[in-house]
Each structure stands twice: as structure tokens, then as C-alpha cells.
With several copies, the nearest count.
Chain A
Amino acid sequence: MAILLRGEDRIIVQGITGNQGRFHTRQMLDYGAQVVGGTSPGKAGQTVEGIPVFNTVRQAVQATAATASIVFAPAPFAKDAAFEALENGIRLLVLIPEHIAVQDSIDIVARAQDLGAVVIGPNTFGLITPGQRTKMGIMPNHIYRPGKIGVVARSGTLSYEIAFSLSNAGLGQSTVVGMGGDPVVGQTFISVLKAFHDDPETEGVVMVGEIGGSAEEEAAEYIQTLHIPVVAYLAGRSAPPGKRMGHAGAIIERGRGTLESKERALSAAGVRVVTMPWEVAPAMQDLLGP
């Protein structure tokens, strides 16, 4: 098992002929993912890394029976790409682009909810299921190991850091999910935690959060109902209030979304909260026992 993405998922790449699309198609194939097609208007008939290119998602889905798609379109075109995927039956959608207009993200997420589709991102590194040799995303292939720890993160590089430290400590991962750094994204900590909780193979979960918003506080309430060890690391301890720190998500305004309120809520819910990234793996080892 694993969550959201499995080895048998048939994946298309929207924007496969661009630099990013081409590069990550190669990476995904190398990792073992079943990339079955790609789209790029007017490029039907070509191939990229041996994968057939179609003009539209409609044609790609008809030809390949794909149910998952990863989007590399530039932000202004991401909404169209997302709807093209959703309306043509894609039920797992990974949106890589950053700086998608928030109103577009609201529309994408609402439509996906109506259709029962899962959206990862936007502004995400994607998700990876090491035990089944499949991934949809831009994360480096070599840092993950198959295992029983679920990881859910807002931020890409920081999650690599933590996944790598887990791998080095002998703690492999069931699935690593990047929720995305934008203000409005498809998942919540709660939705991903729930999926990990329902996965018999996941024995512990690492949450990588940050200041801003109140997603961590809301997750805390939910975690109280779970019976699974959770370690949380939150970035932004040193951030001054009212400053934006790159991620639109990472902004503290008006006394809400502070690190203190998040850590307090999580600790109260029984989560092991650590203060530095390198403390995550030892804390998880400690929780899981010998």
C-alpha cells in the first residue's frame, strides 16, 4: 500500500515538450513511474523519452487510459490545464507551477472536490511512493527509501532534507506528499493525515509545516482522534511578524498563525514537536521504539 499514488497509476505529463516537462519525464521514468503519455498542443505524433505526445488530454486519455496527470504549464495557463485534466477524467492531479493566481486555485480546488479528484499543489514538489517505485513530481530520486514513515510537507527542499535524514537513519517512507506552498492548495494536513492513518503500511507520520495560516492548528484537533505516532517540525521560528518569507503561506499577520500557537496545539494533541530539522529522525526512532 501507500497513499494517493500507487505503482499501477498511469500518468500523463501536461507540457511534456517543455524543458521542465522533458527533464522530469526522464526522471520519473528512471524512478520507475508509469508515464504513459504527454500533451503539447500541435505536437501530436512526436515522442519525448519514448513517450507518445498528444495535442489534448482528451486524446491522451483515450489512447492511454491515464487517470493521473502532472502539469508543467506556466502559471497563467495552469487553470486551463487543470480543468482540461479534471474534465477529461483525471482523478489525481499534480500541479507543479508556482504563482498561480489564488482565484484560479480556488476554482481548481472546488471543481476537483465536485468531481472527487485529488489535487496535489499548486507550487508542490509532488508526491512519491518509494516502495512501489513511482512518483509524480520534481523531487530528486536518490534520497528516498521504501519504508513505513509517511511524510507530509508544505515546502519542497525542506522536505528533501528531512526525507534524506529519515532514509539515512534507516527510516524509509511509505509516501511523501508535498501539499504545496501556495495560499490555496488541494490538500490539507488533515486530508493527508487521514490517508496515512487509513494506510496499514504507514506506521508513523512526519509533518513539515511552517508559520502562517492555521492549517497546523486545525490538523492538531484531528490528530487527537488518530492512533499513529506523529512528529512535527515547523519552520519559521525566527521570522518576524508581518514579513513574507517567500512562500505566500509563510506570513504572520495580526498575531495569528504564529509558531507558538501551532506548536502549542500540536503538542497538546500528542504530537512530538521538534525544533530543528535534524531532530526529526531521532524523535521518530524514539516514538517507534526499538
Chain B
Amino acid sequence: MKQYEYMAKEHLSRQGIKIPPGRVADTPEEARNAVAEIGPAALKAQVLVGGRGKAGGIKFASTPDEAARVAESILGMDLKGFRVDRLYVEGKLDIDQELYVSVTTDRNAKAPLVMASAQGGMEIEELADEFIVRRHVNPRVGVMPYFGKEIAEALGLTASLGREFADLLGRLYQLYRNLDAELVEINPLAVVGGHLVAADARLNVDDSALYRHPDLDTVEEGSALEQKVRALGLAYVELEGDIAVMANGAGMAMATLDAIQYYGGKPANFLDAGGGASVGPTASALGVLVDMHPKAIFINIFGGITRCDDVAQAILQVRQRQGIPVPLVVRLVGTHEKEGVALLQSDGIAAFSEMSAAAQRVVELAGEGR
């Protein structure tokens, strides 16, 4: 779960990392008051996209009146598909140098990774490799002062700034660990009057660890429909096409989308019904697909833990309850395959056993394909 900049900064500050003075503003009036209080400031759109600045999501105001005008212009605007509902009004900094620092998890190394650069301000992907210092953290050891000093040394910081950087990196790592962060990033990490200040911040928290952080502000991502399906406990992503898809297992669901595309079709969604889902949840998930009004529906099941007859039951339930007014292709093999196929047949549905044939057929029925 991503956190807005102002939330991320609040966490940094609680961890003892210096941030500029700032206020949240949801209206031009609040922006005016904020600037009246803290002086010349940057008004920053609180949206979960990178490159806000270039897209016009960050503007400056020297006076309260200017702040209100600028806020008026940013609030409500569309920033790369996200509506701006909130601003963070932050005191302007007199920056000598911009650094970059982040802690994230390196899946391959199975360890935390610190990245730092003396060329901050840019997105890290846009930085050439030679400007980035990468050091894995040994999780048995954590980030001790010497480790931060080694990185500071590699960045070419002075001894006193190096000590401050080492202290900050220790705190940043503590935040990463204590808050179960996937990523905590300060960019730019500004050098202001010989001291380090977090001028912008990103914080993504591990969804699997949210149960440990009940006090964390909840930030919903995705469309209303995505949020609704996820609330059922299912992994769901909206896509551009018209063939609705349900499969069991994330890898299987991805392979199913690939197969549709392979035959020239366009999938409407990714839906992992999970391994071993029972009749009820499977029916709910299918109901959502029907409500999407796709051109066709493809159900691709390899029954392992999932029982084919449970899936067949779910299909029949949805047919009875709300009807399935679009072509439906079902591929059903594995555990209790016979019973499932028989059930579907009793309702006039012919199940495929080959994934390739089934994918080809649903693309045809949707009127797409080569």
C-alpha cells in the first residue's frame, strides 16, 4: 500500500529525520492559511504518481493570496489519470545539493537494498548506473553507523555530512523494518545549510504486513470495481479488452490472458479465483464478470485444490440467479473433472479439456482474433 507524500513525511519525522515545515490543504483557503503560517512554499499535489513536477502538480507561492490562486488551479486537476483532491503546502528550501537515498527489498538477493546517489532529484531509473551506489544490507546485521559512513564516503560527502547521512540511513532502515516498507525513498534528500532535509518522500508498505500496522492511514488504489472485487479476497486487475477471464492461480490467470492474446483476443481483466475457492466465492467472482458486460467469458480451471464440480456448481448458480447473457467458454480439467463436466453438460454447456482450443474458441465467440 502506497502512502501519500505527506503521510510518508510524517513517518520520517517521527523516526527523527528532518522534514521541511508543511501543512495539508484540501481547499484554496487552507492553502492560503498554510502559507500565511509557514511563508513562501511549494504546493504539491498529493497523488500516487511520479513526475508530478513536470506534469504541473507542483507550483510555488510566495504570499497567502498567491497560494490560494495556485491551489485553485491545482486542486481538481487531472494528473496522469488521478484527480488532485489534496495539496501538501511545504516551506521552500534553499537547497545546496540534492541527494538520493532509498531502502527497498531486493528479491533476488533476498535482502534489503540501499541505493544512494549524489545526483538526486531525478527518478532513480533515469540515473546512469555509475551515479548510483548500491549496497545490500545484511539482515542479520542491519544498518550500523559504519555502513552509512561507507556509503557517504562513496557519495563523496564531507565527514560531518557523512555522519549525519549515516545517522539518517540508520533511521531510514529502522523505518523500513518497523513499518514493513517495500520502499522508502527520499528524493531529493536536500543539503540545506550543511544539514540533510527530506524534501520529497515515498513510502510503500507491504500489503501482507498491514495487519501489524492498524494505525496506518489507508490509501485505496485502483478503480471502484477493482476495490470491490479485492474486497472479496480475490486478486483482480482491470484491463482494456472485452473478454472476461477467470482462472485459478495467479500464474494460470496470467497464462490465460497470454493465450487469449496469442489467438488475437483482448482480455478485459485479470481474475485469480484462488486455489481451492469454494462454490460461493467462485460464484461471486463470476457474477462480477457478468456485470462487466464483456463480449465473452472464459473460465479456465486446472483443478488441483479447486474442485471442478465446485466450479461447475458456481457457474450453474450464476446462470440461474442472474443469467449469463454472453458467450461462455469453460475449460475444466483435474480434480473431480468428470463430475464437473457432467454437471455443465446437464445444463447444456460443453466444457473444453484443452486450454489452447478453449482460448481459441472464446476469441472467435467474442468476434475478435485473426
Q: Do chains A and B touch in the complex (CB under 8 A)?
A: yes
Residues of A within 8 A of B (CB): 41-42, 55-59, 75-77, 79-81, 83-84, 87, 99-107, 109-111, 114, 125, 138-140, 143, 153-161, 164, 181-185, 188, 208, 210-211, 213-215, 218, 235-240, 243-250, 254-255, 275-278
- A101→B150 contact, CB < 8 A: no
A106-B111, A125-B304, A215-B107 are known contacts; what are 18 more A-B pairs with Cβ within 8 Å?
Answer: A101-B208, A101-B212, A102-B180, A110-B140, A138-B275, A153-B251, A157-B275, A158-B255, A184-B107, A210-B254, A213-B108, A245-B253, A246-B253, A246-B272, A254-B125, A276-B258, A276-B356, A277-B255
Interface residue from B108, B153, B160 paired with A218 (Cβ < 8 Å): B108
- B248→A157 contact, CB < 8 A: yes
Interface residue from B235, B262, B267, B302 paired with A160 (Cβ < 8 Å): B302
User: Which residues of A are found within 8 Å of B341, using beta-carbon distances?
Assistant: none
- B163→A161 contact, CB < 8 A: no
Top 4 closest pairs, chain A to chain B, by CB = A155-B251, A42-B159, A157-B249, A246-B250
User: Which residues of B are found within 8 Å of A208, using beta-carbon distances?
Assistant: 251
User: Which residues of B are found within 8 Å of A105, using beta-carbon distances?
Assistant: 110
Q: How far is the CA of A84 from the CA of B151 in the complex (A)?
A: 13
B349 to A: closest C-beta gap in Å: 21
A-B contacts, 8 of them at CB < 8 A, read A77-B145, A83-B146, A109-B110, A114-B140, A125-B275, A235-B251, A276-B258, A278-B354
- A80→B146 contact, CB < 8 A: yes
- A247→B159 contact, CB < 8 A: no
User: Which residues of A are found within 8 Å of B355, using beta-carbon distances?
Assistant: 161, 277-278
User: Which residues of B are found within 8 Å of A153, using beta-carbon distances?
Assistant: 251
Which chain A residue shows the least CB distance to B237?
Answer: A243
Q: How far is the CA of A274 from the CA of B259 in the complex (A)?
A: 12
User: Which residues of A are found within 8 Å of B305, using beta-carbon distances?
Assistant: 138, 140
Max chain A Cβ within 10 angstroms of own Cβ: one of B207, B247, B270, B333: B270
Q: Encode contact with A along B300-339: 1 for CB under 8 Å, 0 otherwise.
A: 0011111000000000000000000000000001110000
Given known contacts A75-B208, A236-B254, A277-B355, is B262 in contact with A84 (CB within 8 Å)? no
Interface residue from B146, B208, B259 paired with A81 (Cβ < 8 Å): B146
Q: How far is the CA of A15 from the CA of B144 in the complex (A)?
A: 17
- A102→B105 contact, CB < 8 A: yes
Interface residue from B144, B146, B180, B250 paired with A181 (Cβ < 8 Å): B250
Q: How far is the CA of A237 from the CA of B270 in the complex (A)?
A: 13
